[in-house]
Amino acid sequence: MHYLSINGEQTLNGSVEISGAKNSALPLLAATLLSKNEVTISNLPNVADVKTLLKLLQNLGASFIHKKNEVKIDTKNVQSTCANYDIVRKMRASILTLGPLLTRFGRCEVSLPGGCAIGQRPIDLHLKALEQMGAKIELKHGYVVATAKDGLKGCTVIFDKVTVTGSENIIMAASLARGVTKLLNVAKEPEVVQLCEVLSKAGVKIEGIGTSNLIITGSSRELLSFEDIEVIPDRIEAGTYLCAGAITNSQITVKNVFPKHLEAVILKLTQMGFSFKEKKDYITIFPASKIKSVDIETTEYPGFPTDLQAQFMALCTQANGASIINERLFENRFMHVSELNRMGANVRLKGHSATVEGNTQLVGADVMATDLRASSALILAALVAKGTTRIHRIYHLDRGYENLEGKFSSLGAKIERLEE
Ligand code: UD1
């Protein structure tokens, strides 16, 4: 196993290229199950989660040529409809094959993902919506066994909560359903919007793209004609590097980004005293004369993303004064707190709320990565800590950050990947 060794108290400078969004690449790969032709997906992030989903699609019968940041994938010969436990347990997002498999084949068996480090993460809303569309859903031996012999049929679905992968699953299901599906309270994340745009170009009539209400006219199980796809930039990776600039109070530039997708993040960093230069596809962050404390509430897009909560917590340890962070989406997404506290942070938890004391001198320590985003908070903390930090279990980071140590090194960080 590998770990990261980071020497802190460095100033960063320079620029970093942001990769394609993992959370867009995954539903787009799942959506290729709806295509009648080979699909080329470029700007594909070279991360473990993408490889896991490709493996799952291959197990189902898909063939592909995968080069670092591009895949040509053909799902014509898919015959198996079983997403097995061995792969699903590695990556919850495998559940994204449920909607496409069921709508194309009229049956499928997908392993239940189970809980994860950041909470229970049920999929009840995915299942309820598919039942409304005419599916029979049974839970057998840890699998969702779904059948809809004559295919799914359009109906009206109201999501009780805004769910990203839930929306994506049902959007894909509706694309091949019979008749019109109305979806209310759909997630508006840029990744959901890209999926809609791709399906729309592939011939599905989708009204309301980018809003929380969609009207989708399905193709009655006729496969779609996909065009080539370029994955949108990863706003969470970009936000993580902006936080790296902020915590070290350095000037850095993130390239290949859509600044519009980072509005809530830029706004928070501006409140903290940082300034920015934005152009069409890059953002430069400039140091603050004094880093101010801030209050953060995670929420659905376009609000502040839960996937950047941990990184901002690390940053708040360097603010002048106490910050309050409320985590509204996941009940257990504070696993990084105890590790940050081991590095000298003073974070107190009460329910869904964390109080982060500022003006803290962090110190290097051995720490454990617990989930993908929690781990990146530890890297940020290590950048300003006195001495050396060793971050273990970094396979969590490899799930979602491409060439992490290469990118941080190019910004001047003293970071190495070493063997345990
Ligand atoms: C996606 C993202 C993840 C991000 C999260 C919230 C991907 C692959 N992952 O995860 O990085 O942190 O959105 O922005 O895109 N819920 C239910 N029942 C359901 C579904 C969800 O109660 O059937 C709840 C969840 O427990 C959570 C909230 O709804 O409290 C939002 O979860 P959801 O948007 O579904 O997260 P994911 O799609 O799993």
Match 């779609």 to its residue by tokens: 224
CA distances from 350 to 23, 334, 336, 356, 374 (A): 30, 11, 15, 11, 18
Which pLDDT score is estimated for 371? 87
Structure tokens at 373: 């985003």
List residues near ligand 1 (CB under 6 A): 23, 26, 93, 121-126, 161, 163-166, 191, 306-307, 329-330
Which pLDDT score is estimated for 90? 87
Q: pLDDT at residue 405 above 70?
A: yes
Look at 354 and 116; give whichever has higher pLDDT: 354
> pTM here?
0.97
CA of 167 to the centre of ligand 1 (A): 10
- Model confidence at 119, in pLDDT bands (50, 70, 90)? low
Which pLDDT score is estimated for 182? 98
Average pLDDT for 104-132: 86
Crossing angle of helices 22-31 and 164-175, rounded to 10°: 20
Q: pLDDT at residue 308 above 70?
A: yes
Q: pLDDT at residue 112 above 90?
A: no
Q: How far apart are CA 29 and CA 73, in angstroms?
A: 8
Which pLDDT score is estimated for 117? 61
Which pLDDT score is estimated for 115? 56
Look at 92 and 300; give whichever has higher pLDDT: 300
Q: How far apart are CA 314 and CA 370, in angstroms?
A: 15
pLDDT in tens, 217-238: 999 999 999 999 999 999 999 9
- Please identify every residue annotated as catalytic: 116
Which atom, in ligand 1's list, is nearest to the CA of 191? 15
Phi, psi dihedral angles at 273 (to 5 degrees):
110, 0
pLDDT in tens, 128-156: 999 999 999 999 998 999 999 999 999 99
Q: pLDDT at residue 193 above 70?
A: yes
CA of 91 to the centre of ligand 1 (A): 13
pLDDT in tens, 152-168: 999 999 999 999 999 99
CA of 81 to the centre of ligand 1 (A): 24
